[in-house]
Amino acid sequence: MNYLETQQAMLVNALALAITAPSDSKAQQATQIALQLTQGLTEKQVDLCKKAALVLIGAENETH
């Protein structure tokens, strides 16, 4: 796994954690980490990570 793949995998996990966090403060922490991990990624890459995070938590068919 190269650096870009690792960065994207970490972003997927941070987004999933932000969505499923047990408290608002934990969600905020995960959101801040996710924002940092978007640095250097394209909008398309970030969108794919968002979709992957929804699949990871089983919410890919929910509307937002």
Residue 41 backbone class (left: φ over 0; alpha: ψ -120 to 50; beta: rest): beta
DSSP-based three-state secondary structure for 21: coil
Q: Give the separation between CA 48 and CA 44, rounded to whole angstroms.
A: 6
What is the tens place of the pLDDT at every residue in 13-48? Answer: 999 999 999 999 999 999 999 999 999 999 999 999
Q: Cα 29 from chain centroid?
A: 12
Residue 64 has pLDDT above 70, yes or no: no
Of 4, 3, 2, 1, nearest to 49 by C-alpha is: 4
Q: What is the pLDDT of residue 50?
A: 97
Residue spans per domain, the chain: 3-57
